[in-house]
């Protein structure tokens, strides 16, 4: 550890020299958050801020489904912004053409804009079904609270399956369009959590592909 960083941390954390011990590697990765917070007001000791790319820079949100129908959208978080997923569900919740929304939720985090959009969709008369995994490590209590809140607003919540943990991340939006009923789905390796999407490396795809949407529909029916 550089001497200037060591001295700064000693001062910031009010530690004596004999209270500081060095070892190879990290004792606890979570400690990095404490160090990052301690360095928050020292920009010279931080990396330059990183701004993720907006994969679908839309001036008109109404064009988002038209964009997806033209081509699949591959997202690589955290380099691509998770805002694309937030905007997709937010617009679908208010879109008059949206008939139904189905989603699996594993780790929701705190005040999550996605769950707020699901509630908004239900209040707007959409058929909203959520499979909430209550065995999500560290988020069990929070998931129960959010599930009950969604139920109070008309969301149909399914509480997982006995003996199984649903770890898949799926979102499907069903719309009635001029040429028939169409499906759009988002499949991801990462949780629907805006906070962790800025830290974890994950891949996701948003697609209107008929075969993929049929598979997602059948899987939701099975669940």
Query: Nearest CA to 102 among 169, 172, 205, 185?
Result: 172
Query: Other CB atoms closer than 10 Å to residue 92's CB: what's the count?
Result: 26
Consecutive H or E run containing 174: strand 169-177
Give me the mean pLDDT over the 107-133 stretch: 89
pLDDT tens figures, 153-198: 999 998 877 777 778 899 999 999 999 999 999 999 998 988 889 8
Render pLDDT for 44-73 as a digit per residue (tens, 0 to 9). 888 888 889 887 765 666 788 988 999 999
Q: Across the strands, what pairs with 176?
A: 181
pLDDT band at 201 (very low <50, low <70, confident <90, very high): very high
User: What residues contact 15, with CB distance under 8 A and at least 6 apart?
Assistant: 9
d(Cα 30, Cα 204) in Å, to the nearest integer?
26
75 and 86 Cβ atoms separated by less than 8 Å: no
Provide the whole-model pTM.
Answer: 0.79
Active-site residue flag, 156? no
- CB 222: neighbour CB atoms within 10 A? 7
Q: Please state, in angstroms and rounded to a whole number, the distance separating the CA atoms of residues 171 and 165.
A: 17
**Out of 2-16, 38-52, 120-134, least confident range:** 2-16
Q: Which of 96-100, 103-107, 128-132 has the lowest mean pLDDT?
A: 103-107
Q: How far is CA 128 from CA 8, 69, 209, in A?
A: 51, 22, 21
Among the listed residues 30, 156, 167, 186, the single catalytic one is 167
């Amino acid at each position: 550890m550089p001497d200037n960083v060591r001295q700064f941390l000693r001062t910031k954390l009010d530690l004596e020299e004999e209270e500081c011990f060095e070892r190879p590697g990290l004792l606890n990765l979570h400690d990095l958050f404490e160090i990052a917070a301690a360095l928050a007001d020292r920009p010279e000791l931080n990396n330059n801020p990183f701004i993720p790319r907006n994969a679908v820079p839309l001036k008109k949100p109404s064009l988002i489904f038209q964009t997806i129908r033209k081509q699949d959208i591959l997202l690589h978080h955290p380099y691509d912004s998770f805002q694309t997923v937030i905007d997709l569900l937010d617009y679908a919740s208010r879109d008059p053409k949206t008939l139904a929304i189905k989603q699996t939720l594993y780790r929701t985090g705190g005040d999550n804009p996605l769950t707020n959009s699901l509630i908004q969709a239900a209040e707007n008369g959409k058929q909203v079904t959520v499979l909430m995994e209550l065995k999500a490590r560290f988020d069990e209590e929070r998931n129960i609270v959010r599930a009950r809140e969604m139920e109070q607003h008309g969301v149909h919540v399914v509480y997982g399956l006995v003996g199984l943990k649903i770890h898949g991340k799926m979102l499907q939006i069903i719309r009635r369009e001029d040429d028939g009923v169409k499906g759009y789905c988002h499949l991801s390796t990462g949780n629907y959590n805006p906070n962790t999407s800025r830290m974890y490396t994950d891949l996701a795809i948003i697609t209107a592909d008929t075969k993929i949407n049929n598979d997602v529909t059948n899987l939701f029916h099975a669940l």
